[in-house]
Chains A and B, each alone.
Chain A
Amino acid sequence: MTPPLVFENVPLGRIRRSTIGGPAHLPVDADGAFSLEVQAHSTVVVVGDETSGVNLLGGLVLALDRVPEGRVLVLGTEVAVLDRLAQLAFRRKLGYLPAGDGLLQNLSLRDNIRLPLHFGSDYRPRDIEGRVDVIVAQLRLTRVADRRPAQTNAEDRRRAALGRALAFDPDLVILEEPFDGLTERAAAELLELARGGEVSEGGRRTVFITGQDLPALLRRRVDRQVRIRRGRIEIPA
């Protein structure tokens, strides 16, 4: 069985942005090619410093960025070669929590969670409201759900961003720097929420996390942690 996420010889130093909007990337000090397989129902963390290319991996999975060589297979599909509309449709099969939350500041937390369901499904309004209520309750956001991101704390914002990522109950979740600024307890709780319980095939979600570091409490809870340096996985001495 093909792993849900495969990076094959991806040269992170030659990445190009392929989205409509988005800030430019920091320069990457990378001369190697990145390869990694993420097995189904596992939690894999890739850490590295800012210039290592670690912050590009999430965008590559979602084909928000592209590389001239190598390929990234997501649920058996090379998303980068699809046309724009097909890419958008494919991304709805995944959960994505971007670095810095990416919550829309002019919407409440509840509206932020609601948004992908409105634009990514043909659910009836009543079904959307029901799904949003479940997510809000599950993430313990009921008290602050109607506030805008700037009126809430970092933990609630991160929860809301995770709730938005889980709106379609995806099998594969991509989390970029999800634990920055959180206490270890909050980070551990967030990780458990992302992994979820039983999904359709009877296992937990596959979770792919990138960041500069992983809180000590979480190191025992993930299945694999690798460090990236100069665009390739660092092999411990």
Chain B
Amino acid sequence: MLGLLIGVGRGTARWLARVGALARFAFEALGSLPTLPGAGRRVAARVLLNQLRFTALQAVGLIVLLSGVLSYLTISATITQLSRVGASELIGELMVVVIVRELGPLLTALAVVSRSGTAITAELATNTVLGEVRALEGLGIDPYHYLVLPRLFGCVLSVCILIVLFDVIAVFGGFLAAVAFGGMSGARYLGIVLSNLTTQDVVLTVVKGLIFGTVIGVIPSYEGLSVRQGPTEIPQAVIRGTVGSIVVIFLFAALIVAALQ
């Protein structure tokens, strides 16, 4: 029994230490922004653009596919049932609550974690193992400026953009499904959806984009830079970064729902 308690205690202490280190890393990274020199800003902006290209632009196809399929499945599976009980008006609320407000941000964040979160961890872990990060610090270059901040802001912007794209495609996909399978006119469908979409939904979507993007920018970067033992630790760091990001994103999604009830 005592052994179990000791084990739980140690595990909790390790977890708390990791959360603390992660929070410190995030604050230090954001706190380094004002000290970014003018010439460094241009280089960081180039890295940021590269991150946007990789995280947002190259993910458009995946987001369109995920969003289109999800809205098709949701609408085609529910519209017939709703029509039978004379509740087809609920399709708009279903689209807004389930897809636009909840699943859109969540699935977009998961897609970005799986593509870019893993890449960020692997890239920074490789930089670390090859001694590049230590060399940067030895030359007086802040790794937060060159490595972390462009990726962090790249992820935040990308997730926000992709969530909006996801929602637009989902609504459009739902439109096609409602017309094709539900026998609903396009104008009626759009009218129902738009009447259910409030300013709060739009704000909430953006807030979720900011939070999820920050999580994807911070946790994989932290895990990548935490590699110490060599190349064999890189896959473990990628797993830690990916799983950690997914867990924190789900926790935040639940917290936001709980806070709004």
Contact = CB atoms under 8 A, between A and B. Distances in A.
Contacts of B134: 19, 21-23, 59, 64, 98, 102
Given A100-B131, A122-B39, A115 B141 contact: yes
Interface string B132-166: 11111111111111100000000000000000000
Interface stretch (B88-96, B121-129, B170-178, B203-211): B121-129
Contacts of B137: 19-22, 62, 64, 88, 91
A164 interface: yes
Interface of B is mostly: helix
A58 B132 CA distance: 15
B229 interface: yes
B230 A21 contact: no
B35 A85 contact: yes
Contact of A122 (B37, B131, B226, B228): B37
Interface in A116-147: 116-125, 128
Given A115-B141, A116-B139, A119-B145, A23 B43 contact: no
B39 A102 contact: no
Contacts of B35: 85
B133 A119 contact: no
Contact of B37 (A22, A121, A164): A121
A24 interface: yes
Contact of A20 (B129, B140, B225): B225
A119 B142 contact: yes
Give the contact-size bracket for chain A: 35 or more
Contacts of B133: 19-22
Contact of A23 (B131, B138, B143, B145): B131
Interface in B7-47: 28, 35, 37-40, 42-43
Given A22-B228, A116-B139, 14 more contacts: A21-B225, A22-B137, A23-B129, A23-B227, A23-B229, A88-B140, A92-B140, A101-B131, A102-B134, A115-B141, A118-B42, A123-B39, A164-B139, A165-B139
Interface of B: 28, 35, 37-40, 42-43, 124, 127-146, 225-230
23 contacts: A20-B133, A21-B124, A21-B133, A21-B226, A23-B131, A23-B227, A23-B228, A59-B138, A64-B134, A88-B142, A92-B140, A96-B139, A100-B130, A102-B131, A103-B135, A105-B132, A116-B141, A117-B39, A119-B142, A119-B146, A120-B141, A128-B39, A174-B138
Closest CB pairs A-B (n = 8): A102-B135, A21-B133, A92-B140, A22-B134, A91-B140, A119-B40, A21-B225, A96-B138
